[in-house]
Amino acid sequence: MEQEYIILLQKILVVLFSVTLFWKIIKHICGLLVIEKEPVTVLVTGAAGQIGYALLPMIARGVMLGPDQPVIIHMLDIEPAAEALNGVKMELIDAAFPLLKDVVATTDVVEACQGVNIAVMVGGFPRKEGMKRKDVMSKNVSIYKAQASALEQHAAPDCKVLVVANPANTNALILKEFAPSIPEKNITCLTRLDHNRALGQISEKLNVHVSDVWNVIIWGNHSSTQYPDINHATVKTTNGEKSVRDAIANDNCREGPPLSKLASYRVHCQLQVLLVIIYVIGFLEHPREHGCPWECTLMGHMEFSLALCTPSQLHVRKDNGQLLMGSR
């Protein structure tokens, strides 16, 4: 009887050893078959600034494009920021990110745009105290004209561009004008910050949670002329889903939430902007499933234009590699 137990134990050990060996062989074969993806070259302008500084490690770590996507980072900034830019480069190298294949830090726009697949345009001329918006736009025209021309000549044909610096809509339009070979569908700009402000004010007005307000659209630049559109907006109530227009009794508010309040915020939510940058780029590169087919994100896009030729902001999702827009 004891001998039978010993034989049984030996058989079990042989089976366990065989299974373990087989599993290791399979893992080794799979490892040999896995081909590393080609690196994606990501340009970040204004890279020595606060947003760029916070964004770059996340790109290098794979937060933006995925844990298996190698990246080459190109960092561009102005000449006075060259020392800080090289400091950022050294920090990225010291961090030894496995996905980071190379880092280029430069003040030369042509060098920065070489072979770029994704351009995140964080850099721009900031509005200083006492400056009019037209003065800021004038400064940004020269900046974005030079960068757009360099992208036009030196970036990859399928380059995707995300404009962050305000006025984001106008900057995106300038870029489109001076980089005509980049498809319009590949040029977007951030509008989520103003969109979230509108959501917050509507939810406060209706005394509901912000997640219960859907399909608010923001038209125009970040300015006093910006218009929060609630024509397609809905709100979840105890009696079911209903139109925001029906839920708000005040006629003045129905025509648009308080615009002056929207435009008067002076504190920039940099963390929020940073997270949106990562979300939008990841969203463009990797389609994600959402509970609602349209309520996904908000960004400025060229294919839906206003009379003043600024990119409009509409809810966007991606389907089979194409951006789709509309309301629920």
CATH code assigned at 178 = 3.40.50.720
Do both 185 and 320 map to the same domain?
no
Choose the final residue of a domain: 163, 190, 217. Answer: 190
More reliable by pLDDT, 169 or 49: 49
Residue 4, in any domain of the structure = no
Q: Read off the amino acid at residue 247.
A: A
Query: Which residue type sits at 2?
Result: E
Last residue of a domain, one of 190, 205, 232: 190
Q: Can you tell me the distance from the alpha carbon of 211 to that of 4, in angstroms, rounded to the nearest whole number?
A: 66
Give me the active site residues, please. 222
Q: Do residues 154 and 41 lie in contact, with contact meaning Cβ atoms separated by under 8 Å?
A: no
3-state secondary structure of 208: coil
Mean pLDDT of the chain: 78
- Total count of domains within the chain: 2
Q: Which residue has the tokens 């800021």?
A: 136
Does residue 171 share a domain with residue 103? yes
pLDDT tens by residue, 261-289:
554 444 444 555 565 566 556 555 554 43
Q: Please give the Cα distance from 99 to 51 (Å, whole number).
A: 21
- Residues facing 179 on adjacent strands: none
Indicate the pairing of strand 311-319 with strand 322-325: antiparallel
What is the distance between the alpha carbons of residues 319 and 289, in angstroms, rounded to a whole number?
10
Give the per-residue pLDDT at 257: 45
What is the mean pLDDT of the segment spanning 95-119?
97
Helix/strand/coil percent split, the chain, to 5: 45, 20, 35
pLDDT band at 34, cuts 50/70/90? low
**CA dist., res. 128 & res. 161, Å (int):** 26
d(CA 261, CA 225): 12
Measured between alpha carbons, how far is 148 from 152 in angstroms, rounded to an integer? 6
Which of 190, 209, 244 is where one domain is finished?
190
- Flag whether the pTM goes above 0.85: no
Residues 124-165: tens digit of each pLDDT: 887 777 777 777 778 889 999 999 999 999 999 999 999 988
Cβ pair 112, 45 in contact under 8 A: yes
Q: Give the strand pairing for 311-319 and 297-305.
A: antiparallel
**DSSP per-residue codes, 263-291:** HH-----HHHHHHHHHHHHHHHHS----S
Please report which confidence band the pLDDT of residue 217 belongs to, taking 50, 70 and 90 as the band edges. confident
Tell whether 283 is covered by a domain: no
Which residue segment(s) compose the domain that 185 sits in?
40-190
* DSSP H or E segment with residue 262: helix 259-264
Q: Say if residue 198 is in the same domain as residue 185.
A: no
Contact status, residue 188 vs residue 217, Cβ threshold 8 Å: no
Q: Measured between alpha carbons, how far is 169 from 258 in angstroms, rounded to an integer?
A: 21
What's the CATH code of the domain at 240? 3.90.110.10
pLDDT higher than 90, residue 294: no
Structure tokens that stand for 175 in this block: 């870029």
Here the tokens at position 253 are: 């508010």
Both 306 and 229 in one domain: the answer is yes
Could you give the CA distance from residue 318 to residue 160 in angstroms, rounded to a whole number? 14
- Secondary structure (DSSP) of 60-80: HHTTTT-TT--EEEEEE--GG
Quick one: tokens of 144?
């974005």
Distance of CA 60 to the CA centre of its chain: 15
Residues 121, 235, single domain; the answer is no
